[in-house]
Structure 1
Amino acid sequence: MAPLTKENNLLNEAHHYGYKKNFRTALPQLLAVSVKNLLLLGYGMTLGFPTILIPAVKEPVEGENLHLESSEISWISSINLIVVPVGCALSGIVTSPLGRRRAMQMVNVPFFIAWLIFHFSTNTGHLYGALFLTGLAGGLLEAPVLTYVAEITQPHLRGALTATSTLCITIGVFTQFLFGLLFYWRTVALINIIFTILAVIALCFVPESPHWLVSRKRHNEAMESLQWLRGWTSKEVVEDELKDIQALYKRKEAGTEDQEETLKEKIVLYLDKTFLVPYFLVSFSFFVGHFSGMTTLQTYAVTIFQMLEAPIDKYYATLILGILQILGSITCVMLVHYTGKRPLTFFSTATAGICCLLVAVYEGYIKSNLVLNITTTFDDFNNTTLTDVVNNDLNNPYSWIPTALLLIVAFVTSAGIRLLPWILIGEVFSTKTRSGAAGLASAIGYIFGFLTNKIYISMLEKLSILGTYTLYGFICLIGCLVFYFILPETEGKALIDIENHFAGVKRLTNEVYKTKKKEYVEASKMRDLKGTSNPTFEGDNAI
């Protein structure tokens, strides 16, 4: 009767706590992911820093010894992004032996060194070296960050907690816009070091991944980690989940007896449509996201707002841009579970495409016609050039139009297409290819980011603003159409169902799966008794 009494006590406890117990289970996962996000906050700072660095070295203040030409500036905006894939390729090899938590701490070392180099830089080589380090560190953090989140979170929290990663990167970018408004760029580099140190310290207070601990046969520590992550609970609550993890790694060990055969099988897996089709989907999402105009706007924000003759100070416009990116990311985090990914993606790409085309129309036609009308009406301005007339806000009351349109682009892309590929990475690949595919997909995303920034100045010179934003607009609209046919609705779906969709076994519906409240309470009781499920086992018992 003892086991039955114990089970009844656990059921009564689950029924008594109700919502509070669910919240208590979610809270430590939220805390652990938030601490991990400090690392991504620092990475976002490295992406936003070129935005305030570029205008400072293009038109330096008195006493500044760094003065860069346009060809050098194009590398400032992109060199870190092209190095990231190198870090991604090395990420698993370099960081896996250290453990997820320790690897995330060690990645902060190159960030720390890079900020010091930025502060004390005296020539272009120093800037390039610091950007190389930030790009390398950004790639190295991919494996421990993505793996850590997947290995500690529950399925029903996975989507929202994964989306917070991009949100924190966006906040990191925004801090640079804000700091750039308040401080000189060399001072900003020193301030950024503080966040690097905070990330290292905070990571000391969260547990290591139970999966990694089991893989190192540190089972007692894995038990303690699960107890912490599932609400500082007892061993009995998580013992079944620990057994599942242990069984998983026993199967992996049994499958590595013939390493040569396993290697051949892995090569075949990456040539199968279960990898190629999802990889195309994620890669296309990255392509549309970067060529939606937002990547270049984020990097060249100050100069773009100056070029478009923003009716407010270009630095304040950049600050508003950062705020709207954050609000867009928050919108995505809050809505994705209810609306699903498809509606957010359609709205995001269609709206961004229309706004980019309107910017092109304004700059190519409306603005030029406005100049002719103004010069025809004001005959007293015979000695005034067309540019002088347009730059006069009294004569050009519509100068707010392109600025407003680009700010809308910042919001809608952050609410959809910019976050989409990062969420899909953790969902669309099969169990056997998920870890390797995540690195390959991340790499292609950063390559697209590099290309977007690197060719932007050349595009302006050859195509002008009219041609550049027309291209961005058509890419978004075509992307919206393509997504309608190739993007399945994965929100709330079990990983095994998503895998079967891309394998051609059974197609997913476009319905968003939501657990009814009553079913969720009953499922919560069973999780408390049997151990909380993890994405690794979601295919068998997803809620």
Structure 2
Amino acid sequence: MDDDQEIQNGESLVQEETRVPLISQEKRRLNNGDEEQPTKGRIREDTFMVYATTFVSACGSYACGSCVGYSSPTQSAIREDVHLSLAEYSMFGSILTFGAMFGAITSGKMADYIGRKRTMLLSSGFCTAGWLFIYFAQEAILLDIGRLATGYGMGVFSYMVPVFIAEVAPKDLRGMLTTLCWVMLCTGVSVSFILGTILTWRTLALTGIIPCAIVLFGLFTIPESPRWLAKRGNQKEFEASLRKLRGKNADIFEEAAEIQDYIETLEKLPKAKLLDLFQKRCQRPVTIGVGLMVCQQFGGINGISFYTSSIFESAGFPANVGTIIYAILPVIISAFSAFFIDGAGRKPLIVISGAGLVIGCLLTGISFFLKEHGLALGAAPALAVTGILVYVGAFSMGMGVIPWMMMSEIFPIDIKGVAGSLVTLVNWFGAWVCTLTFNFLMSWSSYGTFILYAAINALAIVFVIKLVPETKGRTLEQIHAAIDSS
């Protein structure tokens, strides 16, 4: 009878062992001293899947760029073909921002509930449907519906892409890979600008479907975010996802244990609501996230983009050529900075970027001052062009991408959904306010407008130096622990 009992107990132990996930078994054996600590530094033996996942996700950012860049080169053709008044076309252009704000409001909760991949899948569907509405439109209402749908998808993408990449990337590659979001967005804008000079507006709308199609099909080949799976309690899927991302021969124990320990700590906390963002533990990351988006948008980027063609014309420089240069320059600068962001760090780059924005605004403001007062009229156009190019180059170096990168890094996973939605909403609201107020400011004082933007960018530098932490070389869990302890 005792023998039978021992056999049953042995079988129970075997069954229990098979139910415990592999990482948990390894952690238990290590705690019992049965094995040596796994060798560190092997977590990135195979990075192919990380790069593939990043590329598929970043195509969502390219889709955002296609949406942003579409309206400028197509304005005259759409107005002529569909018989739109200037007010109707202004509605068509601006409704994109309203769609993006709706997307921002829903993106965080949706990503937490249905997952990162399904959220991007839904966003691709909205963008695709929107482009088809625009392609087949014969009247203003269909154009507006299509533009609103692409705006919604853009708002969701703008939150989800950097978050997803940050959650799947190793800590030593996270900065560079997240920067690719901005590179792809700039590329989407540039390609739309260039193709818009040679394609009809309907054909250009169809090209906007291409990145959406890559996302749609690519999502079936890449893994879900391991951090989201761990938060949902899907242990086997979590381990399989992390293994697929790091390679079959990589040592994932240390990273997996750190993620699990952090998730276990967060699970003890209540589910986050909007009002919870005002609690003491959330105040610093929310202040950093919202503050960076305010600095990004109210520093004048959308207003200056709006006025670029006129500035080039006033400088005697061909507007089409100048616009293409303006569109391509961010791609080159942001791609170049991507290779330095993990080495130089986020904070130094955004401070340097802010200094460049101040210089660019001052040069442009001085050019308008000289022109308005009839001084050095030969030098004023050159100053204006130089100021604009310095501004857009500096913006692309840091202020354009790092606020989105920091947003994906600083929020703990339990508040990431609601906090990310808030920050993305602030960004798109700021874009709308800046675009709305630019003409009024220019009517008040052309050079005063750029001096005001210079002052805001100077304050942004102070904000970054005082409040924004350096996050390079840290896991997301280490970043959150450091913010909580400060």
* Same-fold status (TM-score > 0.5): yes
Match of 1:342 in 2: 347
**Residue 90 (structure 2) pairs with residue 84 (structure 1):** no
Alpha carbons of 1:231 and 1:181: their partners in 2 closer, same or farther (altered >3 Å)?
A: same
**Secondary structure at the residue paired with 1:41?**
helix
Alpha carbons of 1:474 and 1:220: their partners in 2 closer, same or farther (altered >3 Å)?
A: closer
Any gaps of 5 or more consecutive residues in structure 2? 1-28
Contact 1:74 1:457 in 2 (8 A): no
In structure 1, C-alpha distance between the alignment counterparts of 2:462 and 2:205, rounded to whole Å: 42
Match of 2:247 in 1: 231
In structure 1, C-alpha distance between the alignment counterparts of 2:128 and 2:196, rounded to whole Å: 19
Post-superposition shift, 1:273? 3.8
In structure 2, C-alpha distance between the alignment counterparts of 1:36 and 1:111, rounded to whole Å: 14
Match of 1:356 in 2: 361
Alpha carbons of 1:359 and 1:218: their partners in 2 closer, same or farther (altered >3 Å)?
A: closer
Match of 1:203 in 2: 219
Which residues in structure 2 correspond to 1:96-495 (within 5 Å)? 96-141=112-157, 144-213=160-229, 219-233=235-249, 237-238=251-252, 255=268, 262=270, 269-299=276-306, 301-306=308-313, 308-312=314-318, 314-366=319-371, 368-369=373-374, 396=378, 399-430=381-412, 432-460=414-442, 462-493=443-474, 495=476
Post-superposition shift, 1:221? 4.2
Match of 1:537 in 2: none
**Residue 49 (structure 2) pairs with residue 49 (structure 1):** no
In structure 1, C-alpha distance between the alignment counterparts of 2:163 and 2:470, rounded to whole Å: 23
In structure 1, C-alpha distance between the alignment counterparts of 2:288 and 2:260, rounded to whole Å: 33
Contact 2:109 2:418 in 1 (8 A): no
Contact 2:359 2:390 in 1 (8 A): no
Alpha carbons of 1:279 and 1:66: their partners in 2 closer, same or farther (altered >3 Å)?
A: farther
Match of 2:15 in 1: none
Post-superposition shift, 1:114? 1.2
Alpha carbons of 1:488 and 1:137: their partners in 2 closer, same or farther (altered >3 Å)?
A: same
Greater alpha carbon shift after TM alignment, 317-326 vs 291-300: 291-300
Which residues in structure 2 correspond to 1:10-89 (within 5 Å)? 24-54=45-75, 56=77, 64-69=81-86, 71-89=87-105
TM-score by length of 2: 0.81
Q: Deviations over 1:228-259 (max 9, x none)?
A: 2112437xx44675566666666666x48xxx
Q: Deviations over 1:303-358 (max 9, x none)?
A: 5533x34412x122111112211122123322222222332222222222222122
Match of 2:19 in 1: none
Post-superposition shift, 1:410? 0.7
Structure 1 residue identity aligned to 2:84: H
**Secondary structure at the residue paired with 2:278?**
coil
Give the total of aligned pairs: 455
Structure 1 residue identity aligned to 2:85: L
Contact 1:355 1:406 in 2 (8 A): yes
Alpha carbons of 1:134 and 1:211: their partners in 2 closer, same or farther (altered >3 Å)?
A: same
In structure 2, C-alpha distance between the alignment counterparts of 1:149 and 1:159, rounded to whole Å: 10
Contact 2:64 2:157 in 1 (8 A): no
Post-superposition shift, 1:292? 2.8
In structure 2, C-alpha distance between the alignment counterparts of 1:73 and 1:407, rounded to whole Å: 28
Contact 1:167 1:329 in 2 (8 A): yes
**Secondary structure at the residue paired with 2:410?**
coil
Structure 2 residue identity aligned to 1:484: I
Alpha carbons of 1:157 and 1:466: their partners in 2 closer, same or farther (altered >3 Å)?
A: same
Match of 1:523 in 2: none
Post-superposition shift, 1:455? 2.2
Q: Deviations over 1:18-48 (max 9, x none)?
A: 9xx7764333212211111112211221111
In structure 1, C-alpha distance between the alignment counterparts of 2:239 and 2:410, rounded to whole Å: 29
Post-superposition shift, 1:147? 4.3
Q: Deviations over 1:395-452 (max 9, x none)?
A: x576333122201111111101122211211233345433322221111111111111
Greater alpha carbon shift after TM alignment, 175-184 vs 296-305: 296-305
In structure 1, C-alpha distance between the alignment counterparts of 2:459 and 2:160, rounded to whole Å: 35
Contact 1:49 1:173 in 2 (8 A): yes
In structure 2, C-alpha distance between the alignment counterparts of 1:225 and 1:497, rounded to whole Å: 21
Q: Deviations over 1:485-541 (max 9, x none)?
A: 3333333345566445544x44xxxxxxxxxxxxxxxxxxxxxxxxxxxxxxxxxxx
Q: Deviations over 1:349-382 (max 9, x none)?
A: 22222221221221232465259x8xxxxxxxxx
Structure 1 residue identity aligned to 2:107: S
Contact 1:51 1:300 in 2 (8 A): no
In structure 2, C-alpha distance between the alignment counterparts of 1:251 and 1:32, rounded to whole Å: 28
Structure 2 residue identity aligned to 1:118: I
Structure 2 residue identity aligned to 1:176: S
Identity %: 23
**Secondary structure at the residue paired with 2:135?**
helix
In structure 2, C-alpha distance between the alignment counterparts of 1:353 and 1:289, rounded to whole Å: 13
Contact 1:48 1:299 in 2 (8 A): no
Post-superposition shift, 1:213? 4.4
Greater alpha carbon shift after TM alignment, 169-178 vs 71-80: 71-80
**Secondary structure at the residue paired with 1:369?**
coil
In structure 2, C-alpha distance between the alignment counterparts of 1:328 and 1:142, rounded to whole Å: 20
